[in-house]
Structure formats: C-alpha cells, structure tokens
Amino acid sequence: MSRDEDLVVATEAGPVSGVVRDLEDGHRSIAFLGVPYAAAPVGELRFAAPQPVSPWTGVRAAVEPGATPLRRQVDATLIPEPAVPGEETLNVNVFTPDITGFAPVMVWIHGGGFVSGSPNSPWYDGRAFNRDGVVTVSVSYRLGCEGYGVLDAEPGAGPAVSNLGVLDQLAALQWVRRNIAAFGGDPRRVTIAGQSAGATSVLTLLAMPEAQPLFARALAISPTLVDAPLDIARERTRAVAENAGAPATVEGLRGVAPDRLAAAQEAIEQKAKGLKVLRGALAGRMWGPTVDGEVVERATLESLRAGVGASKPLLIGAARDEVGTLADQLPEWTNRIPASWLMRSVVQDAAARRGYLRENRRLLAEGGSVLLAKFVTDAVFRRVVPAVADARIGDEDGGTWVYGFGWRSPRNGWAHHCLDVPFWFDCLDDPAVSAVAGLRPRQDLAEAMHAAAVSFVRGEDPAWPQWSEETRETRVFGANEIIDDQEGYYDGAMPLVAGLQTDR
C-alpha cells in the first residue's frame, strides 16, 4: 500500500495529486478527480476533434470534481448527476487502491441519453471496486449537439464534424492506455463499461476497428442501438441551429454560447410529447453515434456480425422493466383501447405487432398501459441484448454472457432503468439510493452483482454458460417471478430482434 507522501502521480502532461479515503477493513481508495485527457473544447477547439492537453508545471491538485459537459443541473434523473461549471470538460476521475500496483481497470462511461449525465455521480465512485482490487476511471464526453451534431463542410460534401462524443471516448481510452500504469493500473487489462447511453457507447467502441487495441473486455448495462443514419443526425442538428438563430455550420454554432445552444436543443426536444416521444425513441431519433462512414464506418450490428470485437469477452444485459414506470404515467384511457389498436399507434409494421402480441399474450390481461410500457422496454432496450449476443456467435467469439435484472423496487413495483446501477457499484448506502430502491434494498443482491462485475473485470469468465441460439442462457439477478427463468428471460423481446436489421 502506498504511503500518504507518495500520492503525486506523473501524467504525460504533468504531475497531479490525489486524495486518500479510508474504507472499511483497512482498505483505502485514492481519488484523482478532474484530470484532463484532452484540451478544453472552447474557441477554435469547439466543434473540433479532441486535442492534446498543454503540459503544466508544478503539481496540479486533482481533489475536486472536474467541469462537466452537462451545462445545468438536471433534477429529474434517477441517478444523481452533478453539473460542474468550467471549460476543461474533457476529463477523467481515477479511483485506485494503490498507485504502486498493477491492477485491472474498469473505464466507466456514464449514461444520460447522450444529452445529460455526469462522470461525477457519487454512484460512480470507484471505492467499492478499489476495495476489491480494481482501478476505476469515469469519463466525461461531449453531449447533445456539441457531441453528436453533424455539420457539413459544404453542400454535397461529407460531414466536417460528426461523432465528437465518440472521438472524446477514444481519446480518453488512449489517455488511459498511456497513463494508467502511473495510477497503479494495468493498461493490458482494461474493461470498458457503461449503462444506458454509456452501454450504447461501449457497443459502438466494441464494433470499431480503431478502438480494439485500447481495451480487453466490455460490459454493457441496458444498452440501446441509436447509430442513426447521417440524414437523421443532420436534420436534428439543423433544427437546433435554426432554433438558436444560427447557420448549421461550425463557425455558425461556435458563435452560439453553450448555454444558449443547450436551451435551443432542449426546446426542440420538448416539442415532442405523449406518443410522439415513444415513436421518436422507437425510430432512433435521438442524439448519439451516427454512421458517418469515417468515425463510425458502419452500423454496430453490421460491424459485430462482420467479426469486429469478436475476440473481446462481453457481458451484456437489461432490466426486466426498463421503462415500466411509463405504465404509471400514461392516461387511463390507454387501458380501454384494444391492444392491436394501441400497438398500431406506435409501430407500423403489422407483422412485428402480431408477432409481439402472440409472444406476450399474458400482458393483454394487464391493460394497455402495461402492454405499451413493456413493448417500449423490449423495443428500445431488451431486444438489443439478444441481437448483439446472436451477432457475436462464431468460431472466433471471445465469449458473450447475458444477464437480466429482475428485482422490483418497493417504491414503484418495477425493475426499472437505472435501478440496478447502485447494485453493480455496491453503493446502496448512498443517500440517493433510497429514492429509487426503498429503505432496505437487498445488500445480498448488490454483493452478487458487484462480485460478478469484479470477477469479469479481473479477466475471469462469468459463472454461467455463454449465450447460445439454442438455450439463450441468462443469469437473472434478483428474479422474483417464474417468468424470470434462465432460458426465457428475453423471449418476449425476440419477435422484435429481426426489426433491428431494417429499423436503421
């Protein structure tokens, strides 16, 4: 264990000092917060690929959270995600058990629908992983139009700017590869991990040839697939620029203050309400990685089927009721409409509707709101898991292990989106957890899930069989219903898997 006076680490840009936190049983966690991995994306570097950090002299204190691309505090999120003002938004938090070690590393990419989220959430603190011998790095990346807007160089030419958020994540991984040994981490044993938009980012990176040397394993918690066509991303960007009163060019948007641009983006998003929101989500009309033919050469599933990332072990899964709480928010009249009519309002493919209703007949008795919430859960989240797992089946497969999360919160009766995050991080004692998990969340479940993550990051295979087309073996954490069996957990979403071939 390192001594207190040794808590200065020499990065490639200059030395940084960290802070020691004492844990239970004599363990320690050393935190280095807000360490820049790229130059501040301001001025001429705004709407530009990430650039190297200018070196500094003297020891830089890394004891306070760094600035975030999230411009203002968002209070409606399930996960506490602090917004921190400042320009140096491209930074990482490093949590390590010992700066003289050579431990496995987990690089965490936060969620937030690519428009919000923060690497500084107390739920992403790596202290529990440090206790168990894993270095943890949480990464910031540009969001919304700043991170995923598409701006053309000139009419008819290819995009001059696209997928800056993806490039940020690549730059962060490159920083980890060059610097993590100084923090006690092993650059050869890096696992990329994330939840929601972060898990989508994990799959994007897993399917990118350029990213392959930068990590060894991947953990995707509740991913979606939003690698949208270029024209849709262009349309989004132009709508935001028009709302901000600026041309949809690099120079035009550089002239719009970040807060004003964020407000223009939010105003566009708020125009869609009710079923329009569902239809937009199902059509992939969200911010996120774009198939631009350069940074992201082809759609994620296409790339995975072609064998990119096949040698990397993957642990992937989703919650039973990702958007189950939607059923509690829909108007009462949705329960009086015939199921086939209700489904027609959100999905046009008649074959997909009929196939889904056949496989999920039991939901008809629970009412239209539950059926619709379940359908959106399956269409946006759960079908992605078997689709990705199937795409990776082959002779060169590094292994795909599938899990499910079935524990229902006593707060609302759903095993919903984000509820599983504090279990993975074993941080049930955080004050904000009770708001989603009740006053007595299951510590035994947290220990089991956290242990599975630690084991995987260390390089061990999960303790259940790999996914196969025949059995669809799934490890269900917190199962509390007979439907949550090991082989049938994703059956309800299977009629929608084929749609991923043609949706985008």
pLDDT digits (tens, 9 = 90+) for 192-237: 999 999 999 999 999 999 999 999 999 999 999 878 888 888 999 9
Q: Is residue 462 part of a domain?
A: no
Same domain, 157 and 69: yes
Same domain, 54 and 178: yes
Answer whether residue 133 shows pLDDT above 70: yes
Same domain, 189 and 338: no
Answer whether residue 380 shows pLDDT above 70: yes
Q: Please give the positions annotated as active site.
A: 196, 322, 417
Same domain, 246 and 322: no
- Alpha carbon 271 to chain centroid, angstroms: 25
Q: Is residue 218 part of a domain?
A: yes
Q: What is the pLDDT of residue 482?
A: 40
Torsion 161-145-287-209 (CA) sign? positive
Confidence bin at 156 (pLDDT 50/70/90):
low
Q: Is residue 46 part of a domain?
A: yes
Answer whether residue 142 shows pLDDT above 80: yes
Same domain, 215 and 67: yes
Mean local confidence (pLDDT), 109-115? 95
Q: Is 459 in a helix, a strand, or coil? A: coil
Same domain, 50 and 185: yes
Same domain, 336 and 476: yes
CA distance 150 to 412: 39
Q: What is the pLDDT of residue 336?
A: 85
Question: Helix axis angle, 197-206 relative to 164-179, nearest 10°?
Answer: 70
Q: What is the pLDDT of residue 284?
A: 54
pLDDT digits (tens, 9 = 90+) for 413-448: 999 999 999 999 999 999 999 999 999 999 999 999
b/e sequence 477-486, b meaning 16+ C-beta within 10 Å: bbbeeeebeb
What is the model's pTM?
0.94
Q: How many beta carbons lie within 10 A of that of residue 498, not counting itself? A: 15
Q: Is residue 278 part of a domain?
A: no
What is the side-by-side strand order in the sheet with 14-17? 8-11, 14-17, 60-61
Mean local confidence (pLDDT), 266-279? 64
CA distance 1 to 199: 33
Q: How many beta carbons lie within 10 A of that of residue 69, not counting itself? A: 26
Confidence bin at 280 (pLDDT 50/70/90):
low
Q: Is residue 412 part of a domain?
A: yes
pLDDT digits (tens, 9 = 90+) for 459-473: 999 999 999 888 889
Q: Is 455 in a helix, a strand, or coil? A: helix
> Mean pLDDT, the chain, as a whole number?
90
Which CATH number goes with the domain that contains 71?
A: 3.40.50.1820
Answer whether residue 504 shows pLDDT above 50: no
Same domain, 235 and 373: no
- Alpha carbon 57 to chain centroid, angstroms: 35
Task: Report the percent of the chain where pLDDT is more than 90.
Answer: 72
Total number of domains in the chain:
2
Same domain, 253 and 328: no
Confidence bin at 4 (pLDDT 50/70/90):
very low
Q: What is the pLDDT of residue 1?
A: 41
Burial class (CB in 10 A: 0-12, 13-18, 19+), 467: buried
Q: Is residue 136 part of a domain?
A: yes
| Residue-range definition of the domain harbouring residue 364 | 317-456+467-501
Q: What is the pLDDT of residue 486?
A: 55
- Picking from 232, 257, 282, the residue at the C-terminal end of a domain is 257
Same domain, 340 and 249: no
CA distance 205 to 202: 5
The number of helix segments (H) and strand segments (E) in the chain equals 17, 17
- Picking from 209, 239, 257, the residue at the C-terminal end of a domain is 257
State both tokens at 277.
């929101």
Same domain, 58 and 196: yes
Same domain, 251 and 329: no
Q: Is residue 121 part of a domain?
A: yes
- Picking from 240, 257, 274, the residue at the C-terminal end of a domain is 257
Query: In DSSP terms, which residues pair with 14 in a beta bridge?
Result: 11
Q: Is residue 272 part of a domain?
A: no
Confidence bin at 411 (pLDDT 50/70/90):
very high
